[in-house]
Amino acid sequence: MDKKSPATGKCPIMHGGNTANGNSNMDWWPNNLNLDILHQHDRKTNPLGDDFNYAEAFKKLDLDAVKNDLKALMTQSQDWWPADWGHYGGLMIRMAWHSAGTYRIADGRGGAGTGNQRFAPINSWPDNANLDKARRLLWPIKKKYGNSLSWADLIILAGNMAYESMGFKTFGFAGGREDIWHPEKDTYWGSEKEWLAKSGSEGSRYSGERDLENPLAAVMMGLIYVNPEGVDGNPDPLKTAHDMRITFARMAMNDEETVALTAGGHTVGKCHGNGRAENLGPEPEAADVEEQGLGWNNHKTRGIGRDTVTSGIEGAWTTHPTQWDNGYFELLLNYDWELKKSPAGAWQWEPINIKEEHKPADVEDPSIRHNPIMTDADMALKMDPEYRKISERFYNDPAYFDDVFARAWFKLTHRDLGPKARYLGTDVPAEDLIWQDPVPAVSYTLNDAEITDIKNTILASGLSVAELVATAWDSARTFRGSDKRGGANGSRIRLAPQKDWEGNEPERLQKVLKVLEGIQAKLAKPVSMADLIVLAGTAAVEKAANDAGVNVTVPFAPGRGDATAEMTDVESFEVLEPLHDGFRNWVKKDYVVTPEEMLLDRTQLMGLTAPEMTALIGGMRVLGTNHGGTQHGIFTDRVGVLSNDFFVNLTDMNYRWEPTGKNTYNIVERNSGKTRWTATRVDLVFGSNSILRSYAEVYAQDDNRAKFVHDFINAWVKVMNADRFDLK
């Protein structure tokens, strides 16, 4: 227990609620499923309540007024945190970049989309030092515009306005980032036990020949990307270039974008290290209450203005750090640089024999001039042969540099917002960009009679319930709520690379697509394949429900478009490939996976709750959608009927479970010793985990047979429409 919470634990009389962490079930049984990741961000933690609709609120925002206020703020220096050279631009851009820069393509998590920079651990990462001040400077604007401008949007807009107020024309801005109210529970930031632990330390993210653990996209715990002083603090620009290439690629940035971003970022602002890091107080999350949420406060020496310590590196990159210009490449490429130590003791590169007029001024006194600096990452842009070529091109063609940087900055700050359908506001660029995974709009509508007709045609086509459900499921399951990519819209399951993924059972997929294409060709209206694939699954679910004696119409909303190969960045889709799927009871060949991953990761990314996950599993099993037709996990004699048999048989003590392999079991009748069905470990989790068993029991009850069918259908519709932002 720490000294700041005297009221809990030790007192012999007072024993209140369990207000501190430390004795949770996860501490006693760390290998248990962490179902908590499915129950975050619920209404109980949201002060704006259920009825609040951010998109509606944002529409009322006067975006031009906010932009003007932000531009004015940039040059209104506050005594409590003075602006360098009277301009907050550098600080605001670093805040925006660090909010977006946590994004990684492997799982789509991180990024600027949620305002998570306000919460631990990110608010207290060493790399985010003093960004608490940047957010606090924005508070008057946040307060003024209130609920119609989220912190997440404000942070990115502040970065854009910082650039605009320094003379750079940005590519555009889209709102639509809804704030969260507590930190994410599902995002894995690494296993190290210490901030900035070097590679090879306990829990290191590195193995082999500097192989960075997936999905991580930063080299150290508490950094956004690479170590500015060099790999593990040892300057060597070529080694740093290697780390940059990998970490930037992990957020889908190529070499050209990497050079543009780093150079464009460091064209303005400065590094702060003119003092002793030991004088800084604790980070925000550990600071005392009187610090009021701020951290890294220096109560020993001056510690602001020219005496600020942030990274420990000291100095600006360019001669005019509050102006957008070509000064970064001018100094980087035209001078030789040598290693020096900053006043705070950090490694930095300084120019040899620099002309006096090329030196940037002191942040407080224009009559004093200092050496510019480069971090090891900046030096990588000069020393790495590929980066160097790009740097020279940018130096020689500033207009080209401006264009590449504008696009890369827009991509950096908007990529995790998802498809264009989610963009809000008047500054959205008209141009479609390939990383937005564009999907063309459709112009037809379908009435109920037309939908029923198509469903009947599909059901009469000879395809089985399992084939139809599996195809619709596979087309929708790629959706991930993290960066809103994937999903059934666009019917990219017809295209490379998805059509060839092992998890999509290419043979079965082609068979189903061919039949559906035949049906499509005969329809009076130009119905998209994306709609037909979902409608086919929907028709099959409806039939299965009716066969179980529950008469329902499964809701279906047409309107999905078909993307083309030209609209699809094949490489960027590779990260969406499922390697396992608990619902389809399948693991890619040679892939090792725990039941936790099989169930929870995809469930969380698809935005489902634990009860929804349970209902879906129960349905997928009896509908016979197990991968490749394997019978594992189908504990019913009525395959294709949406019964609750999975739960009834799972909870029936007349059966016992006999291991037959590492993750496979026979379901044996206790009395006769006869094997009735086969199961996998994922199936058994629903009977063994105490929480999931409590849900399985609900669905096994006789009085809940119809409830099960309805719950399955609700969850199914949610998955099928997860990417329909046009409906939301």
> Under the criterion CB under 6 A, does residue 220 sit at the interface with ligand HEM?
no
Map residues 308-347 to x or -, x wherever contact with ligand HEM holds by CB under 6 A: --xx-x----------------------------------
Q: Which are the contacts of 224, defined by CB distance < 8 A and separation ≥ 6?
A: 97, 98, 101, 102, 125, 127, 128, 218
Binding to ligand HEM in span 57-96, by CB under 6 A: 90-91, 93-94
- Least separation in angstroms between CB 264 and ligand HEM: 5
Binding to ligand HEM in span 559-588, by CB under 6 A: none
Q: Which of 492, 491, 461 is nearest to 574 (CA)?
A: 492
- Least separation in angstroms between CB 676 and ligand HEM: 59
Q: Where are the alpha helices (DSSP H) in 75-188?
A: 89-100, 131-145, 151-165
C-alpha to C-alpha distance for 71 and 64, rounded to whole angstroms: 11
Task: Give how many residues touch ligand HEM by CB under 6 A.
Answer: 24
> Under the criterion CB under 6 A, does residue 226 sit at the interface with ligand HEM?
yes
Q: Among the candidate windows 225-233, 559-567, 639-647, 706-714, which touches ligand HEM by CB under 6 A? A: 225-233
Q: Tokens in use for 587?
A: 């693991």
Q: Which of 20, 54, 60 is nearest to 180 (CA)?
A: 54
Q: Among the candidate windows 223-231, 504-512, 570-578, 714-722, which touches ligand HEM by CB under 6 A? A: 223-231
C-alpha to C-alpha distance for 349 and 721, rounded to whole angstroms: 52
Burial 219-244 (b: 16+ CB within 10 A, else e): bbbbbbbbbbbbbbeebebebbbbbb
- Considering the candidates 98, 414, 627, 632, report the single residue annotated as catalytic: 98
DSSP H or E segment with residue 379 = helix 376-383
CB-wise, 158 or 685, nearer to ligand HEM?
A: 158
The answer to whether the annotation marks 266 as part of a ligand binding site is: yes
- Least separation in angstroms between CB 82 and ligand HEM: 12
Binding to ligand HEM in span 228-257, by CB under 6 A: 228, 244
109 close to 215: Cβ distance less than 8 angstroms: yes
> Under the criterion CB under 6 A, does residue 490 sit at the interface with ligand HEM?
no
Q: Which of 667, 673, 685, 567 is nearest to 617 (CA)?
A: 685
Q: Which of 608, 607, 638 is nearest to 621 (CA)?
A: 638
- Least separation in angstroms between CB 449 and ligand HEM: 54
Q: Which of 366, 375, 470, 434 is nearest to 571 (CA)?
A: 434
Binding to ligand HEM in span 260-279, by CB under 6 A: 261-262, 264-266, 268-272
Q: Where are the alpha helices (DSSP H) in 415-505?
A: 448-459, 465-476
- Least separation in angstroms between CB 131 and ligand HEM: 9
C-alpha to C-alpha distance for 474 and 453, rounded to whole angstroms: 24
- Least separation in angstroms between CB 179 and ligand HEM: 23
CB-wise, 295 or 687, nearer to ligand HEM?
A: 295
Strands 580-581 and 347-351, by their bridges, are unpaired
CB-wise, 61 or 231, nearer to ligand HEM?
A: 231
Q: Among the candidate windows 31-39, 294-302, 307-315, 546-554, which touches ligand HEM by CB under 6 A? A: 307-315
CB-wise, 244 or 679, nearer to ligand HEM?
A: 244
Does residue 710 carry a catalytic annotation? no
- Binding-site residues sit at 266
- Binding-site residues for heme b sit at 266
Task: Note the residues at the interface with ligand HEM (CB under 6 A).
Answer: 90-91, 93-94, 97, 225-226, 228, 244, 261-262, 264-266, 268-272, 310-311, 313, 375, 377
Return the active site residues.
98
